[in-house]
Amino acid sequence: MDSTQTSHQAFASLSPAVQRASTVVFDTLDDFVQRKHRQPDGYSYGITGTPTARGLEHQIAALENGKHCVITPSGQSALMTTVMGFVRGGDHLLISAACYGALKTFGEKWLARMGVEVEFYAPGIGAGIEALIKSNTRMICLESPGTVTMEMPDVPAIAAAARRRGVLTMMDNTWASPLGFRPLDHGIDFSVEAATKLFGGHSDLLMGSISMNDHDQYAVLRETQSILGQQVSPDDCFLVLRGLETLQVRLSAQSATTLLIARWLEQQPLVDRVLFPALESDPGHALWKRDFHGSGCLFSLILKPAPEQAFHGFFDALKRFVIGASWGGVHSLAAYYPAPLQAQRQFPLTDQPVIRLSIGLEEPAALIADLQAGLDAYAEVLYATSRKPG
Ligand SMILES: *Cc1c(COP(=O)(O)O)cnc(C)c1O
Tell me, yes or no, whether 237 and 333 share the same domain.
no
Pair (251, 206) in one structural domain: no
Asked whether 378 and 313 are in contact (CB, 8 A), the reply is yes
CA 363 from centre of chain: 25
Which of 174, 181, 199, 210 to probe ligand 1 with, by most ligand atoms within 8 A of CB? 174
- CATH code of the domain covering residue 115: 3.40.640.10
pLDDT tens per residue across span 97-139: 999 999 999 999 999 999 999 999 999 999 999 999 999 999 9
SS3 203: coil
Kindly state whether residue 130 falls inside one of the protein's structural domains. Answer: yes
Strand order in the sheet with 137-143: 68-72, 208-212, 190-194, 168-172, 137-143, 92-96, 117-121
Separation between Cα atoms, residue 224 and residue 84, nearest integer Å: 7
Does 4 map to a domain?
no
In a domain, 331, yes or no: yes
pLDDT at 390: 45
Do the Cβ atoms of 100 and 142 come closer than 8 Å?
Answer: no
Residue 5 lies in a domain: no
Q: Which of 180, 164, 215 is nearest to 293 (CA)?
A: 180
Ligand 1 neighbour 172 (Cβ under 6 A) = yes
| 30 Cβ contact list (under 8 Å, min separation 6) | none
Same domain for 264 and 123, yes or no, is no
Q: How far is CA 198 from the centre of its chain?
A: 9
- Do 195 and 253 share a domain, yes or no? no
In whole angstroms, give the CA distance from residue 92 to residue 116. 6
What are the residue ranges of helices labelled H in 267-328?
285-291, 308-317
User: What atom in ligand 1 is closest to the CA of residue 326?
Assistant: 1
- Evaluate the CA torsion angle 192, 196, 200, 205 in order and state its sign: positive
pLDDT score at 9: 75
pLDDT at 1: 47
Q: Are residues 206 and 261 in the same domain?
A: no
pLDDT (average), residues 157-186: 98
Query: What's the 196 CA to ligand 1 centre distance in angstroms?
Result: 7
Q: Is residue 326 assigned to a domain?
A: yes
25 Cα to the center of ligand 1, angstroms:
35
76 CA to centre of ligand 1 in angstroms? 6
What's the pLDDT band for 368 if we cut at 50, 70, 90?
Answer: very high
Please give the Cα distance from 153 to 95 (Å, whole number): 12
Contact 255, 294 (CB under 8 A): yes
Do both 236 and 272 map to the same domain? no
- Please state the φ and ψ torsions of residue 311, each to the nearest 5 degrees: -70, -35
Print the domain residue range for 198: 37-245
Residue 240 falls within a domain, yes or no?
yes
Contact status, residue 149 vs residue 354, Cβ threshold 8 Å: yes
Pocket test for ligand 1, best of 100, 106, 141, 357 (most atoms within 8 A of CB): 100
Whole-angstrom Cα Rg for the chain: 23
Pocket probe for ligand 1: among 76, 77, 207, the residue whose CB has the most ligand atoms within 8 Å is 76
**Residue 25 covered by a domain:** no
* Domain endpoint, select from 245, 266, 292: 245
Confidence class for position 3, pLDDT limits 50, 70, 90: low
Asked if residue 75 has its Cβ within 6 Å of ligand 1, the reply is yes
Amino acid occupying residue 376: D
Percentage of the chain surpassing pLDDT 70? 97
> What is the 8-class DSSP label of residue 161?
H
Find the mean pLDDT for residues 375-385.
94
pLDDT attached to residue 131: 98
Backbone angles phi, psi at 328, to 5 degrees: 90, 0
| Same domain (yes/no): 228, 164 | yes
220, 273: one domain: no
**What is the pLDDT of the chain when averaged over all its residues?**
96
Residue 214 and residue 99 in one domain: yes
Residues 60 and 108 in one domain: yes
pLDDT at 386: 75
Shortest-distance Cα residue to atom 5 of ligand 1: 75
Confidence of residue 226 (pLDDT cuts 50, 70, 90): very high
Q: How far apart are the first and last CA of the chain?
A: 89
Q: What is the dihedral of CA 242, 328, 326, 87, to 10 degrees?
A: 80
pLDDT tens digits, 22-74: 999 999 999 999 999 999 999 999 999 999 999 999 999 999 999 999 999 99
The verdict on 111 and 234 lying in the same domain is: yes
Q: Structural domain tally of the chain?
A: 2
pLDDT for residue 194: 98
What letters, b where the CB count within 10 A reaches 16 and e where it falls short, cover 341-369?
A: ebeebebebbebbbbbbbbbebeeeebbe
Domain end point (choices 197, 227, 245): 245
- DSSP string for 59-74: HHHHHTT-SEEEEESS
In this structure, are 254 and 224 located in the same domain?
Answer: no
Q: Give a yes or no: residue 255 inside a domain.
A: yes
List Cα–Cα distances, 379 to 77, 322, 323, 362, in angstroms: 41, 20, 20, 25
Last residue of a domain, one of 245, 273, 295: 245
